[in-house]
Amino acid sequence: MAIEDREVTVVVNGQERSAAVEPRKLLVHYLRDDLGLTGTHIGCDTSQCGACSIMVNGEAVKSCTMLAVQAEGSEITTVEGLGSIEHLHPMQQSFWEEHGLQCGYCTPGVIMAMLGLLKENPNPSEEEIREGMEGVICRCTGYQFIVSAVQKAAKLMAEAEEQKEETLVANLVREGTHNG
Ligand code: FES
Ligand code: FES
């Protein structure tokens, strides 16, 4: 007996998207084949390489370890949702500046996994970054440049956060002056 397709709806990179899929379809295939988001890569069939890492409800997840139907209703960010050519995300900017990639195949997954790491630990030591890289395989870089890129991204993201807070305080002061 054929198993019926199921409609799966997610918010991906801020947009609601739907597709009918076989219940056994993996999330990574749903993203790539049904939603056309091919920035998420597949590098193994053993859940070990991390090339398929994305954010699901704010947490880094290997999208080959989840079924599409399990993602129903969730908020997903893929590498396509991070920055643009004109305005790279600080993590992308840092990979660019620190030469954190060579062939680039692992890069979208590494970037998403490292964003997950910085979310949990915004100021990781080199050792913590290396520990966070467990489960993420890069065959080209020897990892050192990736570590440097993540260190730089942590710094840039902290600076951006600080700047945001300063702007917020300045706006509040300005509003207070106007109202007072
Ligand atoms: S493709 Fe998901 S871990 Fe390798
Ligand atoms: S840059 Fe080639 S696999 Fe990582």
Q: Which residues on neighbouring strands pair with residue 56, listed in sequence order?
A: 59, 76
Q: What are the CA-CA distances from residue 101 to residues 39, 97, 108, 143, 144 (Å)?
A: 15, 10, 10, 9, 10
Say whether pLDDT at 1 is over 90.
no
**Total domains in the fold of the chain:** 2
Give yes or no: residues 90 and 50 share one domain. Answer: no
**Residue owning the nearest CA to atom 4 of ligand 2:** 138
Q: What ligand is nearest to the CA atom of residue 108? A: 2
Give yes or no: residues 2 and 71 share one domain. Answer: yes
Task: Report pLDDT for 177.
Answer: 75
> Tokens 């991204």 appear where?
153
Say whether pLDDT at 178 is over 80.
no
Say whether pLDDT at 81 is over 70.
yes
Give yes or no: residues 73 and 93 share one domain. Answer: no
> By C-alpha distance, which of 57, 91, 62, 61 is closest to 76?
57
Q: What band does 74 get if pLDDT is binned at 50, 70 and 90?
A: very high
Give yes or no: residues 134 and 112 share one domain. Answer: yes
Q: What is the mean pLDDT of the chain?
A: 95
Say whether pLDDT at 171 is over 90.
no
- Helices 90-97, 107-120: axis angle to 10 degrees equals 120
CATH number of the domain bearing residue 159: 1.10.150.120
Say whether pLDDT at 91 is over 90.
yes
Give yes or no: residues 34 and 100 share one domain. Answer: no
Q: What is the position in ligand 2's atom list of the atom closest to the CA of 104?
A: 1
User: Ligand 1: does its nearest atom lie under 6 Å from the Cβ of 62?
Assistant: yes
Q: What are the CA-CA distances from residue 153 to residues 31, 136, 148, 160, 163 (Å)?
A: 26, 18, 9, 10, 15
Q: Cα of 69 to ligand 2 centre, how many Å?
A: 30
Q: Which residues on neighbouring strands pair with residue 41, listed in sequence order?
A: none
Neighbouring residues of 86: CB distance < 8 A, sequence distance ≥ 6: none
Give yes or no: residues 75 and 127 share one domain. Answer: no
User: Ligand 2: does its nearest atom lie under 6 Å from the Cβ of 106?
Assistant: yes
CA distance 165 to 81: 24
The whole-number average pLDDT for the span 137-160 is: 96
User: Ligand 2: does its nearest atom lie under 6 Å from the Cβ of 139?
Assistant: yes
Q: What ligand is nearest to the CA atom of residue 53? A: 1
Say whether pLDDT at 180 is over 70.
no
Q: Cα of 146 to ligand 2 centre, how many Å?
A: 10
Q: What is the position in ligand 1's atom list of the atom closest to the CA of 47?
A: 3
User: Ligand 1: does its nearest atom lie under 6 Å from the Cβ of 116?
Assistant: no
Please classify residue 180 by burial: count the beta carbons closer than 10 Å to its beta carbon, then call 0-12 exposed, 13-18 middle and 19+ buried: exposed
Task: Report pLDDT for 113.
Answer: 98
Domain annotation covers residue 97: yes
- The residue range of the domain holding 148 is 83-174
User: Ligand 1: does its nearest atom lie under 6 Å from the Cβ of 112?
Assistant: no
Spatial contact of 74 and 10, defined as CB atoms under 8 Å apart? yes
Give yes or no: residues 64 and 123 share one domain. Answer: no
CA distance 65 to 94: 28
Domain boundary among 47, 81, 115: 81
Give yes or no: residues 88 and 170 share one domain. Answer: yes
| Span 11-68, pLDDT tens digits | 999 999 999 999 999 999 999 999 999 999 999 999 999 999 999 999 999 999 999 9
Task: Report pLDDT for 22.
Answer: 96
User: Ligand 1: does its nearest atom lie under 6 Å from the Cβ of 64?
Assistant: yes
CATH number of the domain bearing residue 49: 3.10.20.30
User: Ligand 1: does its nearest atom lie under 6 Å from the Cβ of 42?
Assistant: yes
| Span 110-140, pLDDT tens digits | 999 999 999 999 999 999 999 999 999 999 9
Task: Report pLDDT for 2.
Answer: 72
Q: What band does 175 get if pLDDT is binned at 50, 70 and 90?
A: confident
